[in-house]
Chain A
Amino acid sequence: MKGRENPAEDALILLRSRICNPNFVFTPFSDSPDSNYSKLKFIISSSVTEACNNSILLLGPRGSGKTAVLELVIRDLLAEHADMISVIRLNGILHSDDNCAVKEIARQLCVEHQLLFSKMASFDDNSQFMIAMLRECGLAHKTIIFVLDEFDFFTQGKQRLLYSLLDAMQSVMSQAVVIGVSCRLDADQLLEKRVRSRFSHRKVLFLPPSKEDLQRLLEHILSLPVDTSPPNDYAVEFNMKLHQILADERFKEIINTLLNSDSTVKHLLRFLFYAVCHMDLESGFLSLDNFRTAMSSIQRQPKMEYLQDCSILELYILVCMKRLEVKEQNSYNFNSVMKAEYKGIHDAYQTSDYYARNVCLRAFEHLVQRELICFMDNRGNNQSIEFRAVKLLISSHELYQGLKSYRSCPAILRKLVDQ
């Protein structure tokens, strides 16, 4: 940690880069034999050492660390067996078309083994090339790892790529591992029966970390290194203050609230990033307030904030639409809102907020852009806005709450919503 001028700045940079580095974040999970890291590494390395083929699915909600742990395993294996592993990476969103996928596999194989690649080769050529490469690499004791991200997209269509790949692994003496990564828990049900039969059904499930793991993770990410050669007093003090915060009941409560809505590691990392960015550089240490600020950032409710930003006219329009819905009118448009409600309100209450039609239309369009209301049909682009059917996208409770906390809400609106 250089820079005696401002160790706090260095610390900030270090912490931010750590949080953004998945390899760093998931390293503490790699030592226990029960962890997904160990299980995954064992399966893949047995393909290298015992020349067997395997197909694995990594399943778990988004942000639970599937790709991060996989990359860690691959990185460690490449360090151990440098020349004997090549990695081919495909993504289901980019390469879901079979032709495109096989071409990409051929291209990456050529790049990995320094062969010449031709763009003009056909689907048959490329798949035969892939099978030939599998055989040749098997004879040369080289393992090929196929990483298929967004695996569920590869199961669309006839699943030709998956069939060719899994069938080649089954009939040719090759050393290949196919790793599918998907957030859909039913990814293996999407396989067609022939492909399913050839799939070796290894699954690694990624679940949210336990409380102990969480604690370890927080310490691992946020503690500054203290074993530098001139002993770093700043780091020692930083860590001490950090431990105090971590042990504080109020902090535990914040973390609990955070994990109540989303218990994945990515969510936690986002929270930590916010907190670290709010660190006060003057004092140079993290405080509980940083975490509280981060928490309130994460807990923002965008629709409520949009309501607070609305003009009075826009609120009027929303209330009118609400009243129409309460009156069981399921289909209404701008015209009916204006005619039935808006005019009616002003006739009844003689308010000062009566605006011309084109002004109201502008406010209406604004509400559509803000996604507080939406059009019901997709094809009505020929019709003008005034005639298209609309609906509210916020519930009555949200509207009620929005009006209650609005800074200068006309009383008339509140009364109308109460009715």
Chain B
Amino acid sequence: MATVQVSEAEKVYILHGIRDDLRVDGRGCEDYRHMEIETDVVSNTDGSAKVTLGHTAVLVGIKADIGKPRPLVPNEGYLEFFVDCSANATPEFEGRGGEELGTELSNTLYKVFNNKHSVDLKSLCICPGEHCWVLYVDVLLLQCDGNLYDAISIAIKAALFNTKIPRVRISTDEEGGKEIELSDDPYDCMRLNVENVPCIVTLCKVGHRHVVDATLQEKACSVASLIISVTHKGTVTCTRKVGGGSLDSESIFEMTEAGKRVGKALHAPLMNVLQQEEHLGKKKQKVGFLG
């Protein structure tokens, strides 16, 4: 993971600031940096979103493809995750440098999103036991400036919201052979219900307090962080501790509570923004990657 070198004096400065609820860039402990979201940025995906959080930038593209349902859950579709840590984001990712992080991220994402409580997997089923939609979620890290999990989860939620799956029909001939028929109207498509899709809130333990949306410098001062995925109702669906240091149970509880609070507050404006963008329809001005 991208790291920065922080001197002792800087560390102390950051620690003391956080103790007084004042971070280096002027934020409070539970404040996010400025966030930008744009959906439908990659035209040849079925759904896509680009999120920038401070200087962190991620792009998520979702491709829907027809596959076979998993034998244990024949009436559900599923999601597949792939995180590409390009060397664009940081030189450390060059060669196979980003692979480990990529796997770690995609494993976490898999745990967080690929369950029927987060995404309505049943709606992805076309024909039980035979055909279902598989959503290939490709995450591309464009720039790393800390707090990747949160940025990625928001981008995935936005991309899922934006995803338009072509509507298909199953036709049966007299022999019982099944044929998938595609609607010929490109506007005739299925949308996903993203209401219960959680967002990830990463809390970094810095000194005795914890912060959300840590920058790289703050991260360098932290010993351990807690990843919490929270739905719009405040339900925690997944927690994970990362980092070398240890956390006592009391602070875990505190951090979880903070995460719930922050997460709940995050969903409402996010959905708002997404809906607003959706309403613009064709009038929407595209910003893209050069804006």
Q: Is the A/B pair a real complex? A: no
What is the interface of chain A, defined by CB distance below 8 A to chain B?
Answer: none
